[in-house]
Amino acid sequence: MVKLSRYTQELCLPDGNLVLANLLWNTFVELTPAEQDYWTLIKKGVVQDGADFAKRLTASRILISDDFDELEFMRSTYRRNRHSPDVLGLTIAPTIDCNLACIYCYENKRRGMITPEVEQKIKYYVADLLPGRKKFNVIWYGGEPLLCKDVVLSLSEYFRDRSRELNVTYSAQMTTNAMLLSLSVAHDMASIGGWTRVQITIDGSHRYHNARRPAKGGQGTFGQIYANLVQAVEMLPISLRMNVDAQNMDGCLELLEKLASDMEASKLHVYFSPVHLYGKGCRDIAENGSVDILDHKTFSDQNLILTQRARELGFKTDNALRKSSLRQCQAVSTHSIIVEPDGGLQRCWTEVGDNDRRIGDISAPVEIDATPALRWLRFDPTTMEPCRTCEVLPSCFGGCPQRHLDSRPVEMICAGIRFNTKAVLLADYIASHRPDLIQRVPPITKARALDDALVQISPQMTASRSTGRASSSSDGRLSSV
């Protein structure tokens, strides 16, 4: 006895072929015309034992054993990963101060840099906990971490050397506004190595960006950041983030065109993110109209258009069919912490600087069962609605835990893929495996054309666009005949 995996999506390509894509197992099968007939029978509950097509679907886990509980598999994997003894994660905010005054920033900026004492305690922490691990991942955050450039470089060298001594795989990431990412700084970072991602934010072309991300004195920052990005991409794995609201989509498209003319697009990863209401500061800005925030459904549609254009220009982009499923936020794990400039510890980036949310101090062991830490460990999307019954759970795995714990509306908690699942997967599949079909989509209305091309599928596979949940008239079980 076999059944259809509940995380399988049926997609219709512009040339009429069907693709079956599974979000849990990251598999896909493109059907030949003959196989489409077999697929119709399978959806009716008929499986031919030994048929090559049935074997192919089983190998891809489109069909799974009748007694296999996918939700329980995800739950046990999630719990095992959050307590993994193989990984050590460390996010360091060497300062909460910043040299920009972004209008939508959620952080309560305050002066102060990491002290030599805290820097030494971080080394002690790593020396104590790194032995026996297999992976060590460091993230530099802030404020603006490059305001403490010397600390970043010094500790990075220590982390790299210590990892080599212990035969631990070391990787590092950074979130920076890039105002201080000069040619020499980029060179020094590249010389240390280990970098897997350096995220830089530019919110569209200069007129949009400068209005949103000015310097503290009000000066425009686009020119400096842009110049630093273009030269840094030759040495570091740069990921460009564009924060999108209802006003700057045209500016994002303009920026893509400019970047494509000034650099080799294939060297730069690009992605887009909606402006979120993380903290009180963000809410105040939204209420007075300084930022016109998009709902996630609207952003999801715009993201398709922006991502498609980025792909046409040759940039690297995110792809749901390439991402590992069951991705876990560090905030809900026991092996990752965030260190603030004075040594305070947090679980979530969005709570850096909020003393009331601290879970401890770098100089003392974290009390896992204390209330500030325990609230994160109680989070499990496989046990709560709407996540546990959502058809895209393997992809987003609950979205942002902090928004759940802060009791935000469901529309704000859910990842964008919930609102246009098939359109996203279809675009991602074409980009990855059928680029020959891209030009068959009308150039002006690509995102909508992809959506309109979807076929009407059986009740067992139909997903409600309004709720993102799969609706089914049966239990999905298939019998062998």
416-444 per-position pLDDT tens digit: 888 889 999 999 999 989 988 875 444 43
Rg, C-alpha atoms of the chain: 24
Peptide bond into 237 cis (omega under 30): no
For the beta carbon of residue 73, count every other beta carbon within 10 angstroms: 14
Q: Are 110 and 154 in contact (CB under 8 A)?
A: no
pLDDT of residue 275: 83
In whole angstroms, what is the distance from residue 48 CA to residue 478 CA? 11
Say which residues have a Cβ less than 8 Å from residue 253's Cβ, sequence separation at least 6: 306, 309
Dmax of the chain from CA atoms? Answer: 74
The encoded tokens of residue 194 equal 């280990």
Looking at residue 130, what DSSP letter applies? Answer: S
Which class for 420: exposed (0-12), middle (13-18), buried (19 or more C-beta within 10 A)? buried
In this structure, which amino acid lies at residue 481? V
β-sheet bridge partners, residue 9: 21
In whole angstroms, what is the distance from residue 247 CA to residue 99 CA? 24
Name residues of the chain where pLDDT drops below 50: 279-288, 440-481
pLDDT of residue 451: 41
Helix (H) or strand (E) holding 173: strand 169-176
Strands 477-480 and 2-4: antiparallel
The conformational region for residue 113 under phi > 0 = left, psi -120 to 50 = alpha, else beta, is beta
Provide the edge-to-edge strand list for the sheet that holds 135-140.
316-317, 269-274, 238-244, 195-201, 169-176, 135-140, 87-92, 336-339, 344-346, 360-361
For the beta carbon of residue 80, count every other beta carbon within 10 angstroms: 9
In whole angstroms, what is the distance from residue 45 CA to residue 463 CA? 19
pLDDT of residue 450: 38
Helix (H) or strand (E) holding 32: none
Q: Are 60 and 27 in contact (CB under 8 A)?
A: yes
For the beta carbon of residue 84, count every other beta carbon within 10 angstroms: 16
In whole angstroms, what is the distance from residue 267 CA to residue 256 CA? 13
β-sheet bridge partners, residue 169: 135
In whole angstroms, what is the distance from residue 346 CA to residue 358 CA? 5
The encoded tokens of residue 354 equal 């909020």
Say which residues have a Cβ less than 8 Å from residue 28's Cβ, sequence separation at least 6: 19, 20, 21, 22, 60, 321, 429, 433
pLDDT of residue 13: 93
Give CA separation, 315 vs 114, 226, 253, 300, 434, in Å.
Answer: 36, 16, 13, 19, 17
Which class for 163: exposed (0-12), middle (13-18), buried (19 or more C-beta within 10 A)? buried
pLDDT of residue 476: 36
Selection from 471, 472, 420 nearest residue 447 by Cα: 420
Q: Are 461 and 478 in contact (CB under 8 A)?
A: no
pLDDT of residue 448: 40
In whole angstroms, what is the distance from residue 382 CA to residue 24 CA? 13
3-state secondary structure of 337: strand
Question: For 366-416, how does the pLDDT look when each residue is reduced to its tens digit (9 = 90+)?
Answer: 777 777 878 888 899 999 988 999 999 998 888 888 888 887 766 667 888
Q: How many angstroms separate the first and last alpha carbons of the chain?
A: 10
Chain length of the chain: 481
Task: Name all domains of the chain by residue range, CATH numbers in brackets.
Answer: 2-68+451-480 (no CATH), 86-317 (3.20.20.70)
pLDDT of residue 294: 82
Task: Give CA 244 to chain center in angstroms.
Answer: 15
Q: How many CA atoms lie within 13 A of 433 on its CB side?
A: 16
Cα 182–Cα 88–Cα 156 angle in degrees, nearest 5: 25
